[in-house]
Amino acid sequence: EVKLEESGGGLVQPGGSMKLSCVASGFTFSNYWMNWVRQSPEKGLEWVAEIRLKSNNYATHYAESVKGRFTISRDDSKSSVYLQMNNLRAEDTGIYYCTLLGADWFAYWGQGTLVTVSA
């Protein structure tokens, strides 16, 4: 059974930093592109970042709204993917989901972790 478990969310002040983690199980983690998708009442579902495989030199891609502020990374030995978020803004508030990309759809989603950016 595929499982994705996020952690690291919470309350942070504007301009602050936070690192999200996602531990995966039930599949060969190193064979799959991993993504972060967030959800908020204001913006709905919004893709945030993607990281590819070792064979792709761990290429990364970001939404324009987070480029230069967020960094996605992975540790295949720990079946984990991370999202380092810096210079956080109020509009970054939302539930952050770790997702497994199957072909070109988000095949599995974690339960999500809530990030609240507020003074």
CA distance 66 to 62: 7
Query: In angstroms, what is the minimal distance from the CB of 42 to other proteins?
Result: 11
For other proteins, how many residues bind (rule: CB under 8 A)?
Answer: 19
Structure tokens at 35: 């993504």
Residue 101 CB contacts under 8 Å (≥ 6 apart), including other chains: 32, 33, 34, 35, 50, 107
Of 57 and 104, nearer to other proteins (C-beta) is: 104
Contacting residue, 26, 111, 114, 118, with other proteins by CB under 8 A:
111
Options 26, 107, 114, 118; binder of other proteins; rule CB under 8 A = 107
Round to the nearest angstrom and report the end-to-end CA distance of the chain.
Answer: 40
109 lies in the binding site for other proteins (CB under 8 A): yes
Binding to other proteins by CB under 8 A, coded x per residue (else -) over 21-60, reads -----------------------xxxx-------------
For other proteins, give the closer residue by CB, 44 or 68: 44
Residue 42 token pair? 């204001």
- CA trace torsion 90, 62, 76, 112 (10° rounding): 40
> Residue 110 and residue 112: Cα distance in Å, rounded?
5
Binding residues (CB under 8 A) for other proteins: these are: 44-47, 61, 63-64, 97, 102-112
